[in-house]
Amino acid sequence: MNIQLALDRLTIEEAVSIAGEVEGDVDWIEVGTSLIKEFGMDSVKRMKARFPNKTILADMKTIDNAKYEAELCFEAGADVMTVMGAASPATIEACLETAGKYKREVMIDLLHLSDSQKEKLLPFETAIFCEHVSKDEQEMGGQKNELARSMFQGLRMAVAGGITEASFNKLQMLRPEVVIIGSAITKAADRKAAASRLKQLSKQEEVK
Amino acid sequence: MNIQLALDRLTIEEAVSIAGEVEGDVDWIEVGTSLIKEFGMDSVKRMKARFPNKTILADMKTIDNAKYEAELCFEAGADVMTVMGAASPATIEACLETAGKYKREVMIDLLHLSDSQKEKLLPFETAIFCEHVSKDEQEMGGQKNELARSMFQGLRMAVAGGITEASFNKLQMLRPEVVIIGSAITKAADRKAAASRLKQLSKQEEVK
């Protein structure tokens, strides 16, 4: 199980600095969509340059122009990119094909999809499927990701959306490959301690 | 009727230069998603600085974190932003609310939506609804936007996706407020002549 540190609504300098604080307790570092749209591929390049041995995920949220966007972020050093499950199959296929050429990975973001939309994504089984409650639904509707089951269980899975130490164990039942944590680390009074506790939780679950 | 010049897969310098070539015959200038993800908000700032009297659309393709992304692009000088119709209603509402504060506009991108998904967007009637065939569907499936009707007719509409001089008249039947043209101008041997012919077509239709 990998902990992915999601870095959003920050400058590149702040993001790199926070990642440095918790480096020992996180496995993947996510360059958030807001950094990409504010600063472009510099955000990905600088994160990979600073943390060459970490898995760097570029949260591209690609929904069209897939080959071009995939090449952009892989050339910038991303190990994993995201594509929206809401995209056309042609877009998802192009991401997977380009990732294959670069020997990188694709995470499909399941944000705001119905079960019937999700079912159509099951054939993309080499991707990582991310069950995701959006920031806007969290902030406006009070929703959090507290999934107890998913049709993607058994495939490569990630979970994201307002995950805290309290909700961590429940989500672990899904056996995700990646648990994505943003503000529970970035906004903690003591970030290093928070990341360390989450890392411990992830290890306990693996032992069971 | 406005012609929106879509600028994608270019450097900022190339995009500004092409916009300058056809400035007299286009009404809106779109800073494409690929420019935003490659270069960040600099792409929007520099386009608005060069063309302060044009309507600048930032093709943000926002699908989450709406207030933050809206503020980013409006502060950078965008007059219009795009949000994905596939986003949660909370995201679309936040874009419209933020646009209202800035006295700017929101275009909802209807990319890859079913009719039942589109119907749910009808209440957002202050937005511009963009019927859009994706680049990836164009390039991989040979599809173009050749819509003869839309449930959004009568509301503010835009059309996008492989539009050429040949398909222009058919799409005009939808009475769109905005026709989005990319490669039919940017890849024309004589860009100025191509833009001028499209502008003439748009005027003819308005007379009818």
Give the pLDDT of residue A146.
Answer: 83
Does the distance separating the beta carbons of B112 and A68 come in below 8 Å?
Answer: no
Alpha carbons B133 and B156: distance in angstroms, whole number? 18
| CB proximity A87 to B under 8 Å | yes
Is it the case that residue B207 has pLDDT exceeding 60? no
Determine contact, residues B38/A41, Cβ cutoff 8 Å: yes
B84 → closest Cβ in A66, A73, A86: A86
Distance from CA of A78 to the nearest CA of B (A): 13
Mean pLDDT score, A11-39: 98
pLDDT over 90 percentage in chain B:
88
Question: What does the alpha-carbon distance between residue A202 and residue A175 come to, in Å, rounded to a whole number?
Answer: 10
Q: Is residue B23 part of a domain?
A: yes
Give the CATH number, domain containing residue A32.
3.20.20.70
Q: Work out the minimum CA distance from B107 to partner chain A, whole angstroms.
A: 16
Stretch B151-176: mean pLDDT: 93
Q: Give the per-residue pLDDT at B147.
A: 86
Q: What is the pLDDT, as a whole number, of residue B146?
A: 82
**DSSP-assigned letters across all residues of B183-204:** HHHHTSSSHHHHHHHHHHHHHH
Q: How far apart are CA B159 and CA B155, in angstroms?
A: 13
Contact call for B38 and A33, based on CB within 8 A:
no
Q: A143 or A128: whose pLDDT is higher?
A: A128
Structural domain containing residue B82: 2-192
- Answer yes or no: is pLDDT of A205 > 70: no
Does residue B162 belong to any structural domain of this protein?
yes
Report pLDDT digits (tens) over B88-134. 999 999 999 999 999 999 999 999 999 999 999 999 999 999 999 99
CB contact under 8 A, B64 and A60: no
Percent of chain A with pLDDT over 90: 88
Whether residue A36 lies within 8 A of chain B, CB to CB, comes out as yes
Burial of A27 (0-12, 13-18, 19+ CB in 10 A): middle
- Structurally, chain A folds into a number of domains equal to 1
The overall average pLDDT reported for chain B is: 95
CB contact under 8 A, A90 and B33: no
Tell me the pLDDT tens digit for each residue of A182-196: 999 999 999 999 999
Write the pLDDT tens digit of every residue in B30-55. 999 999 999 999 999 999 999 999 99
pLDDT at A162 exceeding the cut of 60: yes
User: Does residue B27 carry a pLDDT above 60?
Assistant: yes
**Best CA proximity match to A90, nearest among B138, B59, B115, B82:** B138
A36 — pLDDT class (breaks 50, 70, 90): very high
| pLDDT higher than 80, residue B206 | no
> What pLDDT shows up at residue B81?
99
A98 touches B at CB < 8 Å: no
Strands, E, within B32-104: which ranges? 55-62, 80-84
Q: Taking a C-beta distance cutoff of 8 angstroms, is the pair B135, A69 a contact?
A: no
Separation in Å, CA of B206 to nearest CA in chain A: 32
pLDDT level of residue A206 (50, 70, 90 thresholds): low
ipTM above 0.85, yes or no: yes
- pLDDT (0 to 100) of residue A170: 85
Is residue A111 within 8 angstroms of chain B, CB to CB? yes
pLDDT, tens only, B63-85 = 999 999 999 999 999 999 999 99
Name which residue leads in pLDDT, A17 or A170.
A17
Question: Hey, what amino acid is at B157?
Answer: M
β pairing state of A157-160 and A178-181: parallel
pLDDT at A173: 86
* Residues 6 or more apart in contact with residue B162 via CB below 8 angstroms: B133, B138, B143, B144, B145, B183
Question: Is A135 in CB contact (< 8 Å) with chain B?
Answer: yes
In this prediction, residue A81 carries a pLDDT of 99
Judging contacts by C-beta atoms under 8 Å, the chain B residues touching residue A72 are: 34, 37-38
